[in-house]
Every structure is written in structure tokens, then in C-alpha cells.
Amino acid sequence: MCKIFSKGIWQFNVKEAYLKELADKLRSVVLQSRQDNTVRQYMYGFQKFKKWTDMFQETCALLAKPLHVSLYLLSIMQSSNTCSPVNSAFYSISWAHKLAGYVDPMSDVLPKSVKEAASRILGHGTNRKQPVTAYATKINHFSINNLSNLRLKAMCLIAFSGFFRFAELCCIKAHDIVFEPSYVKISVEKSKNDVYRGGKWVLITKTGNSTCPYSALLLYIQAANISTSSDDFVFRQLTYF
């Protein structure tokens, strides 16, 4: 992914050998400032812009002029049914210029106006879903003897009270969970909001009522005979015996 941002583009004005060594590593480190999926999306968007500029002698991918990027956004707008491709191209080109140390052409009013026009012309009203409320999580009909229902109840209550995405929820391992007298804390090694990937602890209090996530999780772990010191995934597939 670093081919676009090669040494020929990133000209670091350093002379000392140690500083040059750090400068070489800097190219790969800055690409980790965002999530891998975001970087791949931006790289793909900028690659498409580069292919478009290669068709014309007066355009270039980096050091692009606001007029040229505006024309590119307009070409995407004419062949799209939604404003999503325009927005993706807009932020991809902006990201690439900032990362390479060049002036961002997207800060100009012209490409901004094209982006706003695309939102007005191609944008559609969204049918927003109603948020999940605490009342909706009042699940009292689960059978205690049914491990599958215990798992589902624990997943729902932990996800709701801890604001877990499914990708984070299914990656929780037994040793990531620590039960305290009045709360449970869950270690999240990697999440979408954790930009620097330092990990974090999510604390969930013990409520003592029918929708207590603490009790639901503890009951499920005990019923599934999961050791809290093991490296097993907590919410995994069940097999009937």
C-alpha cells in the first residue's frame, strides 16, 4: 500500500543516518494512523483517481488542482445513483494529499460544493431505525436449562450495556472477563474506536434485576462450564450432545 507514497513523493529533508532510518519507517507507521479497512478504502479511492488523471496530460494525482478534482467528482456523480462514491472519492483524495504533506485541494470551495450538490441531488431520505431501549431488553422467558437461550440472553445484555459491536462481542475470551463483587470488567483488545490499539477495559455494573448483564453472563459461563482463566471464546458455537 506504500507504492503511492514512495520515497520519490515523500522527500524528507534529513541528512543524518539515524534520521534517515526513522524517516523510512515513518512511511509505514503513518499508514497505521487509521483502521486497516479505512486505509484500504482510501488507497483504493485514490488509485481510481490516479487512473483517471493518467488519461489526461494536464492532470496529476498528487498536487491536484481544485478544478480537476471537482471535474473528477462530477464524473463520478454522473455515473452514480447515490452520493456515497462521491464522498468516498472526496475523502480519499483529501487523505492522500494530507498524508503526502501537500496542500489539500478539497479545502477549496469548488470540490466542497460538488460534494454538497451530490448529497442534495443523489441523496435519499434514510429510514432511521428506532434505538434499542432498556425496555426492549427485558427478556424473562428464557429457560434456565437451555444453554442456547442463556448464551443469547447474555450476549444481548452484555452488548447493550457495554456498547459492544458484534465483532467485539464474538472475540471476547474467557480470560478477558474479570468478575468483581459489584461489577464485571471485560478487556477489549481491539475495537473500531480504539485508534491507537492500546486496548481498553469495559466496566458493567451489577444491577440485580431481571435484566442484569452481570448475572446473565455469570450464569451462562457457569452453565457452559467455561473456565475464566482459559483462552476459549466465550460466545462460541454450541454442540448438542
The reported pTM is 0.48
pLDDT tens digit string along 219-240?
999 888 888 888 889 988 887 7
Q: Which CATH number fits domain 17-122: 1.10.150.130, 3.40.50.300, 3.40.50.10610, 3.40.50.1820?
A: 1.10.150.130
SS3 130: coil
Q: How many angstroms separate the CA atoms of 214 and 211, rounded?
A: 9
pLDDT tens digit string along 18-51?
887 787 777 677 767 777 788 888 889 999 999 9
What's the pLDDT band for 2 if we cut at 50, 70, 90?
A: very low
Q: Where are the domains of the chain?
A: 17-122, 135-223
Q: Classify domain 135-223 by CATH architecture.
A: Orthogonal Bundle (1.10)
DSSP of 5-28, one letter per residue?
A: T-TTT------SHHHHHHHHHHHH
Q: How many angstroms separate the CA atoms of 1 and 22, rounded?
A: 19
